[in-house]
Amino acid sequence: MGTVNRLIVIVLFKGVDLLDVTGPPEVFSLVPRETTERVGYEVVLAAETLEPVTTAAGVRILPDTTFDEVCARAIDTLLVPGSVEVEGDGERRIHPVVEPGTVARVKALATRARRVASVCVGAHILAAAGLLDGKRATTHWSTAQRLAADHPAVRVDPDPIFIREEGEVWTGAGISACLDLSLALVAEDFGEAVALRVARQLVMYLKRPGGQSQFSVPLEQLSTTRRIEDLRHHILNNIGRRLTVPDLAAYAHVSDRQLTRIFKTELGTTPHAYIEAARVELAGNLLETTDDTLERVASRCGFGTVDTLIRAFRRRLATTPSEYRARFR
């Protein structure tokens, strides 16, 4: 009996990000080594023609097949990578590459696929193809606002590493998070045990949970005013204490209403949400690096009670503190 392979088609186009294309196959290629069953993946790179495709890194890749040829096959997973362009001499801005021809091809191929997944800013291509309408999706944090603005029908969440939605539509953050997404796909197809063995070969965690944040709260987009930066540092330096809107407003010498408006304008969130995000991040670090009890973690991070800590983790990371510690300790 021959090996049963699931066909994965990776979309190629000029300027595509190299790691988005090469990272997932590295994960998929290890599956046959880590299971006694004759199963695995057949990964093919598809492009408009068989001519070499130059990636954003300058490395040229040879397609295995054309879009027309692969359309005749039953596709298990359609994987859509991304690419960005940088413009501006002073304030350099990046924007996703969304070519109409690529969008049309992805839309057609998606009808032949059991599931569709985007890597990094490839989510913009899925959105342009109408595949994310009404769905929650993520992308690289630097283009999340653009995705939300361009596609109001998409519920953009810039925080998670990856998101799986009904209808077998997956979106992943960038850039190395393509490995986390790929491991999650392996776990779904062949079970957690196989995915764990693959992860060990890659010297990785089995997976960061889909709800884990892409980036640190202090590394979010910098604000444009000194006042909000002082507030952010004040919050981080006093995270274990009681922090209320009136307290922060008094510290900043503004009204409660003005403080809320400043946070919304500068950071795109509320003071309460920002404080909770910072506390969850600190709690995650303590769970990973210390033997502190949940009571101690809750106290050090300003949650007060374990129940409050658990609710915040469920809300922010879709997991519990105990599950988080078990995965990342």
- Residues involved in catalysis: 120
Question: What is the predicted pLDDT for the residue at 220?
Answer: 46
Structure tokens, 58:
């300058």
Q: Report the residue count for the chain.
A: 329
Question: What is the predicted pLDDT for the residue at 214?
Answer: 53
Question: What is the predicted pLDDT for the residue at 223?
Answer: 45
Q: In whole angstroms, what is the distance from residue 172 CA to residue 155 CA?
A: 14
- For the chain, which ranges sit under pLDDT 50? 1, 206-207, 215, 218-224
Question: What is the predicted pLDDT for the residue at 224?
Answer: 44
Peptide bond into 175 cis (omega under 30): yes
Question: What is the predicted pLDDT for the residue at 90?
Answer: 58
CB atoms within 10 A of CB 222: 11
- Considering only CA atoms, which of 48, 55, 63, 61 is closest in space to residue 83? 55
Structure tokens, 172:
């992943």
Chain segment 239-248, per-residue pLDDT in tens: 999 999 999 9
Chain segment 248-281, per-residue pLDDT in tens: 999 988 999 999 998 888 777 899 999 998 999 8
User: What b-and-e string marks burial along 102-135, b requiring 16 or more CB atoms within 10 Å of the CB?
Assistant: bbebbeebbebbebbbbbbbbbbbbbbbebbeeb
Query: Residues 46, 49, 52, CA angle at the centre, nearest 5°?
Result: 85
With tokens 């606002």, the residue in question is 145
> Which residue type sits at 249?
A
